[in-house]
Structure 1
Amino acid sequence: MSYNFNEAKEHIVNSYGRLEPVISHGEGVYLYDTNNNKYLDFTSGIGVSSLGYGHEKWVKTTSKQLKTLAHASNIFYTEPSVKLAQELTDKANMSKVFFANSGAEANEGAIKLARKYSYDKYGANRSKVLTLIQSFHGRTITTLKATGQEKFHKYFFPFTEGFDYVKANDIQDFKTKLSDDVCAIMLEAIQGEGGVIPLDKDFVQELVEICKEKDVLVIFDEVQCGIGRTGKMFGYNNFNVEADIVTVAKGLGAGLPIGGILCSTKVADVFKPGDHGSTFGANPVACAGALVVLDEICNEKYLEKIAKRGAYVKEIIEEANNPQIEAVRGFGLMIGIKVKCEPALVQKEAIKKGLLVLTAGKDAVRLLPPLVITKKELKAGIDIILEILSNLES
């Protein structure tokens, strides 16, 4: 049975500003709707579908695992989870990993981990977590409060206490907020939902050095900009710093729910049995699929290709010299086009022309295409965006 947009709305909670069409299937870097219209996808499910759609090796591997073992209690290890833990910690240069199901769940666990580290070492009353203004860390009660955007801090009171917010790229504001009760700071290397805004390298390096001196844990939220998205394993690798805790999700699963809390040696053994858990965490099928992602994407040769394709996109946009475009920002294939017009208008016009894009913040068209996209496909999508912006100008 094929559903239209109005039929779909009847039974699903209206918590998203959904757009037509209704998606039916995908192939490569294209999605198709229930009327078999074809769309070049520059969203990848908000950074999830890193391998695109129908990736042969990923489908074969997850299908085989589904037939072998779909789920087991975490009172046992499973082969896919152990192998993924080994591969992921090795590529991330971290010590251990806790597997969860989503970015919000990973961030929530990272906050717990940081607070327990501080409690074990310093006792109570050192539990505050700093985040950045315009950050986004999830939709749970705690991660909403961790999110540095006031528009999310309503309706759901009371929120979890123990958070304060720092102006991005303002080291003096960070120093002012770094009180004696702070145990950690959580950062996105690129603020995705906030407008695809990369942090300044100098700011990050000085902040990390100060945290190291004061034993304040540095948590990098790599849910959107990690797993090769920026042309490096993690977004923070662009700044030549080390992290104490790194959270991952989205692109690691390539379509299946998975999240992870990567732990440095400093915090690797903080959680004891009973401190944290996740029924579906380390799901064997999701772990099997994630292994394919690491193999296909997270190697030096392919990461370099992602970086070059991102540079190619920026070059095309900048050379167009379109008066509607104020700036192009981001790394790799996480790109924000700051526009003078309403980004949602560009998004809706793009759908009509067979292209799917995202928006971010107040002024950005956000591009998160599958990491397997070709230069030709990138050029085709950017040409559509430039055409739309030129028509708006005229």
Structure 2
Amino acid sequence: MLQVAYLRQNTELVKERLSVKHFAELSLVDEVIALDDQRKQLTFQYDETQSLVNKASKEIGMLMGKGEKDAAEAKKTEVAELKSKLQPINEQLVIVEKQLHDTLIKLPNLPAALVPAGKTPEDNLNVKESGEEPNLPANAQPHWELIKKYDIINFELGVKLTGSGFPVYKGKGARLQRALIQYFLDYNTAAGYTEFIPPYMVNEATAYGTGQLPDKEGQMYYMPADNFYMIPTAEVPVTNIYRDEILKETDLPIKMTAYTPCFRREAGSFGADVRGLNRVHQFDKIEIVQLVHPDKSYEVLDEMVAHVEKLVQSLGLKYRILRLCGGDMSFASALTYDFEVWSAAQKKWLECSSVSNFENFQTNRMKIRFKDDKGKPQLIHSLNGSSLALPRILAAILENYQTENGIVIPEVLRPYTGFDLLN
């Protein structure tokens, strides 16, 4: 959530930066400022009236002490009249504060200066590409054919048990999936991230804290009986761990990682873009989250990008790193780098990670602060990244490592799988 004070002091800059995200409702910035003016005026009226009540109340005691009962009764009448004005002012103040909040949360985070102009994924900036094109056999197949050939993932069974987009892993497929999860977690914890196992369902306050609400209600599975949401990513519960807390500056940075299944309703239903593991409703992902000093968040962002890059490199996959343009960024992000791995059989790039700096957009919602060297509370910056999302990583491994004799397991995964070849 943006800060009202910043909007006031930098109104035109805010509108200019929101335009980079192609945000259409720039008038909301002026509405926020106007509502804040109303809030300030009502607060002043309330405080002024309350001050008069307090002053008159003290005078009643003094008049009674002097025996001036008539004057004291008159003052009581004055106090009663003043108090009668307080309730309607307070009621109006509550209404205006809600309007202010409801309007403010419609504004997305401001994109950083590094964010390139553009509206669609085609406008994203390719900042790096690395890795070699695999030499595939003449009869190479896409992963959705390979999983049938080796009987490692069953989508039809998933339809029977739940519905489309819910794969069932079995045999060596399940072991490979588990190996990826364990390897990614070990890689992250070795880099100083503390592992968490959070709930897979969250309440409304938690979903609001990271910006999923009110922006992404339609993308989450919702359970109205309990007012819970299935998590779309571990970022949601993990970042909220420190909600409503004031930390010490010496506590920073806080580095967290978690494996969770993720649940998203937006999966498509037609075309190669959504076949097999390319897009599913339930998938596994390992997340990294950092809470850092605001002066260091962009330095940490670079460190997290490098961390994810080394992880992708260790799998021997061809990859590229994109800096997202304004029109392709998420609601809450200030700057995002996407990682994509090359799908050799499909001849296309598959997104497998996003690493983002949210600055204080999320922490302002969650009130995660630290005390600076002067003892003043300051908002922390939050960052997160996929390290990694498994479906497209698994698809790329199956396709890029296929041979005439089976699928070769990347060397770093063999201690976890217990086998070198999937056949």
Report the TM range for the smaller structure's normalisation.
Answer: under 0.3
Structure with the greater alpha carbon radius of gyration: 2
Of Structure 1 and Structure 2, which has the larger fraction of its residues in helix? 2
After TM superposition, the score normalised by the length of structure 1 is 0.22
Kindly indicate whether structure 1 or structure 2 has the higher relative contact order, using CA contacts under 8 Å at least 6 residues apart: 1
